[in-house]
Amino acid sequence: MDHPGTVTDHRCSLETLEQALLVLDAKLADLHLEGPITLRVIGGFALMKYGVRAEDRAFTVDIDTVTRDFSPEVTRAIHEVAEELNLERDWINNHSVIDQDSLEFVESMYQAQWTLDPSSEDYRCIQLELATVPTLVRAKIIAADSAEFSGRSQDLPDLFELLRFLGLRSYEQFATHFPDPYEEYPEAHAAVREHFARH
């Protein structure tokens, strides 16, 4: 994820990470796996795939996924690509998923839906699925609500850019599309209300 204080040398453009996936795909082909690995992508890489992040923020250090854990041989291939291309060791980052139960919890929390990325045709051994834009919004609402404690600085700008991407122009529109009936995310909603009041 886009953690503050990360070595800036590891900041990657979309093009760099797409090239890394091609390199990984070639390594996976050599492993003769039973089938392709699935990457269910969320976070900065997904935002860049949709063209949501503004040009001056169009980078990330990793590809965040909500995916079952990889086999040791796949993980080893991921680390080899990191060494070869000077990426973060865990440039494919599945850290939000601990086990099958947490996978289901994360997907439920985000009300996650996925769409097959057309670039999957470029790979033999990788199926790339992107979180839908509404899923990304819900994920950013949750992350932005705790940004003060996590120290993450990207989440609110990402949320605002997602709302612009969706064409939402008022807090009322936002609250209609992304209601918070139990007031679980008051900080995020307050920030969105203030954002629209200024624009």
- Neighbour-count burial for 33-43, b at 16+ CB within 10 Å, e otherwise: eeeebbbbbbb
Domain boundaries, the chain: 1-131, 133-199
- Contact in structure between 53 and 47 (CB atoms under 8 Å): yes
Q: What is the pTM of this model?
A: 0.90
pLDDT at residue 8 in the model: 46
What pLDDT sits at residue 76?
97
The proportion of the chain whose per-residue pLDDT surpasses 70, expressed as a percent, equals 91
pLDDT of residue 1: 47
Angle between helices 133-145 and 186-198 (to 10 degrees): 110
Question: What average pLDDT score do residues 127-156 get?
Answer: 89
pLDDT at 152 over 70: yes
Question: Which tokens is 131 given?
Answer: 């979180």
- Whether the per-residue pLDDT at 178 is higher than 90: the answer is yes
Handedness of CA 106, 162, 90, 118 (dihedral sign): positive
pLDDT tens for 35-92 read 999 999 999 999 999 999 988 999 999 999 998 889 999 999 999 999 999 999 999 9
Q: How far is CA 76 from CA 28, 65, 85, in A?
A: 10, 17, 14
